[in-house]
Structure 1
Amino acid sequence: MVLTRKLLVPVAVKKMDMVNMDNKPHLFSELRKNKAKLQQFLDACRSQHQDGEANLNELRETYRTRLTEAEEFFVRFRTDIEKVPFELAIEHWLDFHATASGLDDACEIFKILVSDSVIRLEDAAGQILTLGDQAMLGHSGYVDEIRCLQTVPLRQRERMVSIYLQFSRHLAQATLGFVPAQADPDRLKVEKKTIPYDEFLDFVQYLSERDALMAYLMYFDEPSMTEVIDLKVSQVSLRECTITFGQHQATYPKHIMQRLQDFITDKTADELVFQNRSKEAVNRSRTYRAFKTASSKMTPPQELTPTRLLEKHHK
């Protein structure tokens, strides 16, 4: 993996680079117009003040000075922290924040993530990954890799995701946004669904692998029950994490496609993805019964159907 670091350039320099100095007459004309408009704005503001003009002038200078100082500090700050190893940021959070926040399992979770190479501390060339690298890579890949740990129970995987996202929020705050925080990509993808994400997870754990995968495909996009039942292996692109349903191409999270890959390993391109024991299409009524049974085991019991998995809020 080859990473190219971004050169940090002060805002003022960037603005100068964007100016075409060969077009000076037009430039100066626009500057005069903007100056006149600014003066009109200031006059309108002054008309609202009966006194205190001198105080405003002093505060204006203070404001501009502090902004310049902050910008210069931020450039120096980013230049320094982009060289800090990513693992030191994790260590700092675990040492000073996680335990204080009552996240007693955070150390064990990060130990597992590092041991299982979900979180990588070096790149392919053996170079230590830094906060500068992390700012470019983002966190979403780590979140998806956590959910790909199929040997870890579903609820534990979700706990690991939650802990990691709390760390990402702290890192964004500590680095003044240099390393952006990460929202949960799965929750974002289904945020318009009428069935809450946590409710869906409670439901899907009571389904067989086949029925669970059918539920995931419907919940994380909007194929009809018929399109899922008729789905063939040839419509699945594991490399692109997409499935083609008619004219619509649906994109799914990596962890869903990984489970689907394991499920279709022994099937040929022209075979149905979801089959019964006779290698025929799954019986629709049998799937409805499986969904009904799983729904009854939820806490509290619900009634989740294929149709409900597709429903979205209208707002």
Structure 2
Amino acid sequence: MTNYLDFEKPLAEIEGKAEELRALARTSKEMDVEAEAGALDRKAADLLRDLYKSLTPWRKCQVARHPDRPHCSDYIKALFTEYTPLAGDRSFGEDAAVMGGLARLDGRPVMVIGHEKGNDTKSRITRNFGMARPEGYRKAVRLMKMADRFGLPVITLVDTPGAYPGKGAEERGQSEAIARSTETCLGIGVPLVSVIIGEGGSGGAVAFASANRLAMLEHSIYSVISPEGCASILWKDSEKMREAAEALRLTAQDLTKLGVADRIIDEPLGGAHRDHAGTIKAVGQTLEAMLSELDKKGRKGLIRDRRERFLRLGSKGLAA
């Protein structure tokens, strides 16, 4: 069953009518509805193209949060071989919102780490909707340091509304854990590449995305705060999230102009949720390309590259 976003309601009506016609035809062999259903399909395709031709920042937020987008576990399953999950921070416990382990990408040994939101009610609760607690970030630190010790490139897949703000997380040092994870990203002497596959929310995303190369899916977002949170603070009205989304410049297109993101990965027409295989293939190709760019850089070169990249942030596109 397709989950339609608010702005896709006209599309839902057309595709629903086409499906109803085909369902009627299946119950009565005498009915020939293919011509009419085909016309509806073409109308739906044209409407889909129009809807996604120039999405507003707020609509991009909605697409980035679509529950049917491929998640970290989908990418790991499709792109990586010999994946061996590693659990726990060796201090408090395991955090299901962060998954990671040893794997191979096209034969190359790597360490892959990412946020996992879950794909149904039970798994979303288990994964805490992709909002990591301190132990999740400390697990990421442990895995990055392990990768550094054994000379393995690190790949991070970012998809989180932000770090979990609960009382227990704060008591266990949430801000310190995020800072340590960010520090580790900046200090390891192996290639670190990151892809924003959905939401990149606040420091919870930065803690994984302080990389040599950062790519964003076409309809993903990356921001210091959610549009709703920004609107609540600035206007005391969360309903002004559309204005906030415009002001935050959180889209892949804006962030590439600013130099925050290095490249945009095109999504299939209608968003990643309409074609998992095509999206995952494109991400895999981008990961391999980014790693290839870093192959000839030594330990000091990689650290220097990362440092210089962050010092350049915001230096271009400010007048756009």
TM-score (norm 1): 0.23
TM-score (norm 2): 0.23
Bigger fraction of residues in helix: 1
Bigger fraction of residues in strand: 2
State the structure with more CA Rg.
1
